[in-house]
Amino acid sequence: MNPYLVLFICAAYAWRLLTVLISRTHERNLRKNSAKEYGATNSKCLAAVHILFYIAATVEAAYRPSIDTTVATIGVVLYIASALILILVMRSLGELWTIKIMISQNHRLIRNGLFAYVRHPNYFLNILPELVGFALALNAFWTLIVGLPIYLIPLIIRIRQEEAIMSSAFADYKS
């Protein structure tokens, strides 16, 4: 396997691990403030599918004799852009950002940053481009074709759960 590809894979796995650790820190702090978690089963499913997507793309890349460097470069750029979007999302949400749906008693509705323009920037501008970018960077076309539609199932459930919870928690959420 190409050493640059190995470096990218290691960096992507490390980035995702870092975000999980940040999320766990935020989750602990939110729970200290009596936050309640919603959709826990689907969150676990979403996390599992995310991990499986990464593993499937990595395995597919390991068995690919060569990669199209143009496609790989587009994938890396897309992945980096999605990581930068995640940083913006995390900055907007601050301690409220987790990989779970959690609402605390003093939860506030965020409408600044990307949230002023996009309803779910973490999903549409980070996660989906991240997965597409990761698969393209590895030329893991089968993972992209099969894995992305599978990933969309728990993601759509997550978005619907989040919409319902936010609507019940904040009277002006829909406006």
Query: Domain-by-domain residue ranges, the chain?
Result: 3-169
- pLDDT for residue 159: 97
List the beta bridge partners of residue 36.
103
Q: What is the pTM of this model?
A: 0.94
**DSSP output for 16-54:** HHHHHHHHHHHHHHHHHTT-EEE-HHHHHHHHHHHHHHH
The contacts of residue 16 (CB under 8 Å, 6+ apart) are 50, 54
For the cut 90, the answer to whether the pLDDT of residue 107 exceeds it is no
What would the two tokens of residue 98 be? 């987790």
Candidate from 48-62, 108-122, 137-151 with smallest mean pLDDT:
108-122
For the cut 90, the answer to whether the pLDDT of residue 136 exceeds it is yes
pLDDT per residue as tens digits for the range 55-105: 999 999 999 999 999 999 999 999 999 999 999 999 999 999 999 999 988
Confidence grade of residue 174 (pLDDT, cut at 50, 70, 90): confident
Cα dist from 77 to 3, 13, 20, 68, 141, whole Å: 18, 16, 22, 14, 17
Classify residue 115 by its DSSP letter: G
* CATH code of the domain made up of 3-169: 1.20.120.1630
What would the two tokens of residue 96 be? 């409220």
- pLDDT for residue 175: 60
For the cut 80, the answer to whether the pLDDT of residue 27 exceeds it is yes
Share of the chain above pLDDT 70, in %: 99
- pLDDT for residue 171: 86
